[in-house]
Amino acid sequence: MAASAPLHAFSLRESEGIAELVLDVPGEKLNILHAAVMEELAEILAGLTGRSDIRCLMLRSGKPGTFIAGADIKEIEAIREPLEAEEKSRSGQDLFNLLEDLPFPSLAVVDGPALGGGLELALACTYRLVSDNPKTQIGVPETGLGIVPGFGGTYRLPRVVGLTEALRMILSGRPVDGPRAARIGLADACYPAAFLQDKASAFAARIASGSVPPRRRRRGALRTFLMERNPLGRALVLRAARRDVLARGGKHYPALLETLSLLRKTFRAPRQRALLLERRALGKTASTRVCRNLIGLFFAREAARHVPAPAGQSREGKTAQGAAVIGAGVMGGKIAWLFASHGISAGMKDVSWDAVQKGFASAYQTYQELARRGRLDRRKINLGMHRLSGSIDYASLGKPDVVIEAVVEDMSVKKKVLAEVEKAAAPDALLASNTSSLSITEMAGALARPERFVGMHFFNPPSIMPLVEIIPGARTGPDAVARATRLALDLGKTPVVVKDCPGFLVNRLLMPYLNESVSLVEEGADFRTVDRVLEEFGMPMGPFVLLDEIGLDVADHVARILVGAFADRMAPGALMGQVSASGLLGKKSGKGFYVHGKSAKPGARPRANPDIWKLLPRPANARMIRRLDMMHRPLLAMLNEAARALEEGVVASARELDLALVLGTGFPPFRGGLLRWAEDELGVGTARDMLELYTRTVGKRFTPAPLIIRLAAQSKGFTPGAAA
């Protein structure tokens, strides 16, 4: 086989004993550690190993605002055997060992993302400097892809920042910014981005002159330092981490438990032993179904981010400089918060100052919740609140680039408000409705320029839920779709474009799942058991906890809207309406199927509401319902509707449908999504057979969708090339 052409990703410059190695992968927006990049780096480092005239090596990126975004995910996706993963790990470890073992100090200069292999490369350097650039995000996200860090991260990171901080970074996958990297000892210093290169050059000169002492890990809190220095303390730290992982559903993610086991064995082990165990751990996790599913979702999410730039705009600038939210209720206030938290001024308009005040209270409550979780400091909260304004007339809002309508879910009210908005807004403003189920095409009938109007369905709470459904109406222009999609990205959300139909995508699929769960209870099942069974499957909360979160009245209202379009297969059980009619609305009223209160511990299962028992039916023909039926009936009801939506073109692909359900309902990511689960674990043929069985024994609502019947007969799956 002919040798491939040299990549020339690196350039090496030398001056006065300092070698500067610059990485700039040609033709790529980000520096990725492809196999060819690593081969080139290995050649350069091998050539530097015997040099006695170099006193410092400085590594930096040639791409402004970025360092190294990690290893090539496609190469990880291609792994099928543990030994293949171990060999890739070995090559990366050997390369970074070569860097660590250079006969002179090295300095990594990080301005921008340093993720996965990028951080592992920086950890192999003697020193690290970082910038305060908001793009500087430093972390090890590998467990989010179902694998352990494999280029020495589990060996070096705990030795730099300590076991407790390393566990937090690896198990959560969340990166740290530049200032925090300096605080925890991951970086030697953090400088303003504009001065980073000058500071790095001066730092390198000090290293070369021998005036910078060998770096030592900062001890941090004395209690943490003392805990980690002895075997008993380390055991307690690891035990607490394991407890937290299991409480968050980590038993479904092998990489999390494998990481804990690995660090227990390697924290005090010599490098050779620690790296050997790391290679084996990567081999065990990289070839699992969970890894393939998580990587599939990663690529689906990346694809959702690649959207056309709106006309006349580059991909780099923000779509909106100013926004307005019409309807300052709880949801309106949260959407306004979302704009403000991403640096976009937002005005809230409602019919009274009392209503506007509720919007401010909703936004402030969101900030406070994030502050309690340690996600925001007081300074950022004050800045964010100062980006918000309120009004009871349109004139005070000025001429914002984007107007989001968030009034009550009533078609006549929405059409009236949108007609007013169009007259008051700038001619080129993007108009959007935050509706969860009403027709965008019908709303657009109230507008003179419907081409600039689009649906943007934000999921509650917007501070947490990552999905936004983008819904073009029949007369929505392509530029409006592009602007709305790009706006969602600017707000840190993942957009999925869906067809204008009742319930759109997520609510249309969620309602059969909730209705079938209620039907199980009407037949005699214990709602607490149904919740536990589906939580064991991997759902973030059971259907009845979810109904309480949504609100029983809201769920019943949405179900009845969908019945008009989809007939009996969307018909809610009588129980849902009876519970809401009794005043048990769920979390917002303090009681639903469960009791909710401020004293409840975060993450703890709520207590069953004693008032609910008198409302539950006692069917004369009650029978024992199997736990398998409690799991399969709601899931198959959802799957059947998903197959219909896919065939109708409500969403462009099975991959996007799975992504929307994972991000919009919390469908377990480790299963890859609803359709991936059906074709990869259950089997499309098995799904068809079970639907036919339930059609005979439960009701015609389970009649298999034509797409499922056809794919099962052809032994095909929902995604191209997938087998049933």
CA separation for the pair 669, 662 (Å, rounded) = 6
Instruction: Name the residue with tokens 């990594």.
Output: 108
Instruction: Give the CA dihedral 495, 497, 499, 503, nearest 10 degrees.
Output: -10
Task: Name which of 58, 56, 80 is nearest 67 in CA terms.
Answer: 58
Length of the chain: 724
CA separation for the pair 360, 354 (Å, rounded) = 10
Q: What is the layout of strands, in order, in the sheet containing 137-139?
A: 114-115, 137-139, 176-177
Cβ burial of 418 (10 Å; 0-12, 13-18, 19+) is buried
Q: 60 pairs with which residues across the strands?
A: 22
Task: Name which of 498, 503, 545 is nearest 659 in CA terms.
Answer: 498
Q: 22 pairs with which residues across the strands?
A: 11, 60
Task: Name which of 485, 479, 408, 473 is nearest 447 in CA terms.
Answer: 473
Taking residue 688's Cβ as centre, other Cβ atoms within 10 Å add up to 22
> Do 54 and 48 form a contact (C-beta atoms < 8 A)?
yes
**List 34, 252, 386, 457, catalytic entry:** 457
252 is an active site residue: no
Strands (E) in 570-704, as ranges, are 594-595, 607-608
Task: Name which of 88, 141, 87, 76 is nearest 114 in CA terms.
Answer: 141
Helices (H), 61-210: 73-77, 82-100, 117-123, 153-161, 163-172, 178-183, 196-209
Structure tokens at 373: 């979780």
Task: Name which of 247, 239, 189 is nearest 218 in CA terms.
Answer: 189
Long-range contacts of 658-662 (CB under 8 A, 24+ apart): 658/296, 658/297, 658/300, 659/297, 659/300, 659/301, 659/304, 659/494, 659/496, 660/467, 660/469, 660/496, 660/498, 660/505, 660/506, 661/506, 661/509, 662/297
> Do 541 and 531 form a contact (C-beta atoms < 8 A)?
yes
Our measurement of the distance from residue 655's CA atom to the centroid of its chain's CA atoms, rounded to an integer in Å, reads 16
Structure tokens at 433: 């409705």
With residue 189 as reference, give the H or E element that holds it.
strand 189-191
> Do 51 and 45 form a contact (C-beta atoms < 8 A)?
no
Is residue 484 classed as helix, strand or coil in its secondary structure?
helix
Q: 189 pairs with which residues across the strands?
A: 129
- Give Cα separations from 538 to 249, 521, 643 (angstroms): 7, 20, 21
Instruction: Name the residue with tokens 């990552």.
Output: 466
Task: Name which of 305, 325, 326, 302 is nearest 315 in CA terms.
Answer: 305
Residue partners of 247: CB distance under 8 A and separation at least 6: 603
Q: 346 pairs with which residues across the strands?
A: 323, 388
CA separation for the pair 63, 80 (Å, rounded) = 33
Ramachandran angles phi, psi of 565, nearest 5°: -100, -35
> Do 79 and 104 form a contact (C-beta atoms < 8 A)?
no
Instruction: Name the residue with tokens 């709880």.
Output: 330
For residue 214, the number of C-alpha atoms closer than 13 Å in the C-beta half-sphere is: 3
* Catalytic positions, written as ranges: 457
